[in-house]
Structure 1
């Protein structure tokens, strides 16, 4: 099983860091797509098969929470796993995201953190992973 991923963050540097960290994590990655805001992310989801969305919260045009809301309302996107990676500190907001089915990771993060969260979120065992 390989995981196709969409990374949504308004910072191209952060997108690159997340993608590099995911590659270092040992997860069985397929294609990795990227978008600079929630609106672009939704467009990417319409164009590509994605198993996991990694999204920031605070972005222009459409923030991560709005993107998650739109995904949950769309029949073909509602069951896609979502991991939020953010510096967000509001417990209320984090709780609200978790009620929407998102898993939260605080910045900064490690390859092990991403690996473990994605494994748990997508129910992937160590035996499901492939090495390069």
Structure 2
């Protein structure tokens, strides 16, 4: 009886692991120009903190890029013309939808460079 129970418990446990499915959530990122319009054709990379997998997309004419991401993870967001570090947490919700809007100016990169320290300043 004990062997049968142990076998049944082991079988159920392994079956649930073998048939486990990853849930996905749709994330839409919109890149909005602070002055007017949207940022088109900007590379957006999302890097999983868990697996280091990189998801890539380009923004369309409305500044939008859509990703289908595995849930229960944190992703680092890198945008070609955006200098701030951002992360987004995707909760474990099957079929969820998240929208995130980034509003910034066209010269954000140039402004950021003006405040960067040179190598000699960093050594001091």
Normalised to the residue count of structure 1, the TM-score between the two structures is 0.22
Point out the structure with the larger strand share. 2
More helix by proportion, 1 or 2?
1
TM-score, structure 2 length as denominator?
A: 0.23
Give 1 or 2 for the bigger CA radius of gyration: 2
